[in-house]
Amino acid sequence: MPPWPDSLVFRRVLGRELPTIARGEGVWLEDTEGRRYLDGSGGAVVVNIGHGRREVAEAMARQAETAAYVHGTQFTSGPLEEYARRLSAHAPGDCNRLYLVSGGSEANETAVKLARAFHLARGEPTRHKVVRRSIGYHGNTLATLALSGRPNLQAPYLPLLASTPEAAAPFCYRCPLGRTYPDCVVACVDEVETVIEREGPETVAAVIAEPVLGAAAGAAVPPDEYGQRLRAICDRHRVLLIADEVMTGFGRTGRFFAGEWSGVVPDVMTLGKGMSGGYVPVGGVLVREEIVKALEHAGGFVHGFTFSHHAVTAAACLATLDILEREGLVERVRERGERLFGLLEPLRAHPHVGDVRGRGLMAGIELVADKATRRPFPRAERRAEGLAARCFERGLVVYPSTGCANGTDGDLVMLAPPFVVTEDELGQAVSILASALDDFGRSPTRLRPTASRPARS
């Protein structure tokens, strides 16, 4: 009998039962039936400090007992002020003014409105367009979904989505321009400038970009020179650069923020996921001082959420930051990342593994029907979900995603374990993944999903 036969929960996964979580510790999860799972993806690339951290729960409880909620226009709080101060030490340049919200989608929505408000404040009301990239993900609100390069997620809602200008994404394995690096001379970044000039620079407010592409492309790392050239293009045309670090921030790639690898200082940076280690829903925006001062001079920022600037949320984030710093977990990611990619390297020989890519503890394994031509499996075969289900049956949680080849076809799974993972646990994760891949050539009907779903956030 299902564990919740009369459940009234409207689940994200419809039509099948899910196991009920009982507890988590470190990289391990256990359900109410006593089955253990190695959390090889940190859920949706969220969990960084590990499960079961009592100090985070205690920090939240202390603040909730003191004062759980005040409106952000009426009071500030000690945890919020201290967190903003402490986080600024990790922020790039002067992109250090924090606007705390409840999730990554809210963060990107806030960033886009900030860009518009900033240009209004400095007397350029025609600037309202945001250039997005052909592959990427920025959230599930209507505005942020419109700015994403995820046709498979956008399709049901196209009549509701605004049209947004698009430039080629820096996805070298499946270059949207059909070029090959380095002979391409990074033509994809030049296309951003082409799009800005085509739209009219006087109409463009911002460019939004993930420093490392997330679930849409499975941890695809742009060429080294991409970031600095994008920054120069934005500067030439007085366009704000929004760096979406929702998935990559807080150490996931081996630097506190992924943009540090290229040394780029964005105008606005969006945060989420690992910001609280998964202990509380959270998002945030870091903003350059110039932008905040311009808005203050113009009379303020017409924006806000009921739960923005929340004290209990800030307390959880502050406790998470304490752990990241005290235990040197970001530095540990670089070491463990090298080990992870060393373990994954033999998987490249599998006939249906097209690519293994990523940085730090953020790895994407793309699945293909034909390695030579990079031909993807048909979407109807649901290969990413099937592989994830096989892993789940063996006690490993991975993060499946789809549509990376053409918006519909293109399967991949991601590994992104908590930063406390040991070398032995990494070995277990890759061993289970390799075992699940052994079933991959069988009929796709044997790979029906049982406990996983495609990546959406």
Q: What does the alpha-carbon distance between residue 291 and residue 369 come to, in Å, rounded to a whole number?
A: 48
Phi, psi (deg, nearest 5) at residue 124: -125, 75
Q: Is the pTM of this model over 0.75?
A: yes
Closest to 284 in 3D by CA, of 300, 273, 295, 296: 273
Q: What does the alpha-carbon distance between residue 184 and residue 84 come to, in Å, rounded to a whole number?
A: 41
DSSP of 129-180: EEEEESSB---SSHHHHHTSB-HHHHGGGGGGSPP--EE----GGG-TT---
Predicted confidence (pLDDT) per residue in 21-50, tens digit:
999 999 999 999 999 999 999 999 999 999
Helix (H, G, I), strand (E, B) or coil at 338: helix
pLDDT at 124: 98
Q: Domain 21-52+328-447 is classified in which CATH homologous superfamily?
A: Aspartate Aminotransferase, domain 1 (3.90.1150.10)
pLDDT at 445: 43
Q: Count of CB atoms within 10 A of residue 163's CB?
A: 8
Q: What does the alpha-carbon distance between residue 98 and residue 117 come to, in Å, rounded to a whole number?
A: 16
Question: Which stretches of 31-89 are DSSP H helices?
Answer: 42-45, 54-66, 78-88
Fold of 54-326: Aspartate Aminotransferase; domain 2 (3.40.640)
How does 343-363 read in b/e, with b if 16+ C-beta sit within 10 Å?
Answer: bbeeeeebebbbbbbbbbbbb
Length reported for the chain:
457
Give the pairing type, strands 36-39 and 28-31: antiparallel
Tokens of residue 272, six digits? 């989420």
Same fold? 21-52+328-447, 54-326: no
Average pLDDT over residues 110-114: 98
pLDDT at 446: 44
Predicted confidence (pLDDT) per residue in 403-427, tens digit:
999 999 999 999 999 999 999 999 9
- Whether residue 309 contacts residue 324, with contact meaning beta carbons closer than 8 Å, is answered with no
Residue 19 has pLDDT above 90, yes or no: yes
Predicted confidence (pLDDT) per residue in 124-138, tens digit:
999 999 999 999 999
Task: Give the start-to-end residue ranges of the domains of the chain.
Answer: 21-52+328-447, 54-326
% of the chain surpassing 90 pLDDT = 93
CA angle, 16 as apex, 15 and 22 as ends, to 5°?
Answer: 140
Residue 443 has pLDDT above 80, yes or no: no
Q: What does the alpha-carbon distance between residue 77 and residue 317 come to, in Å, rounded to a whole number?
A: 13
Q: What does the alpha-carbon distance between residue 171 and residue 427 come to, in Å, rounded to a whole number?
A: 28
Predicted confidence (pLDDT) per residue in 304-360, tens digit:
999 999 999 999 999 999 999 999 999 999 999 999 999 999 999 999 999 999 999
Predicted confidence (pLDDT) per residue in 210-257, tens digit:
999 999 999 999 999 999 999 999 999 999 999 999 999 999 999 999
- Whether residue 37 contacts residue 392, with contact meaning beta carbons closer than 8 Å, is answered with yes
Q: Count of CB atoms within 10 A of residue 292's CB?
A: 17
pLDDT-derived band at 16, boundaries 50, 70, 90: confident
Predicted confidence (pLDDT) per residue in 382-393, tens digit:
999 999 999 999
Average pLDDT, the chain: 95
Q: What does the alpha-carbon distance between residue 199 and residue 28 come to, in Å, rounded to a whole number?
A: 49
Q: What does the alpha-carbon distance between residue 249 and residue 320 come to, in Å, rounded to a whole number?
A: 13
Place of tokens 């943009």: 259
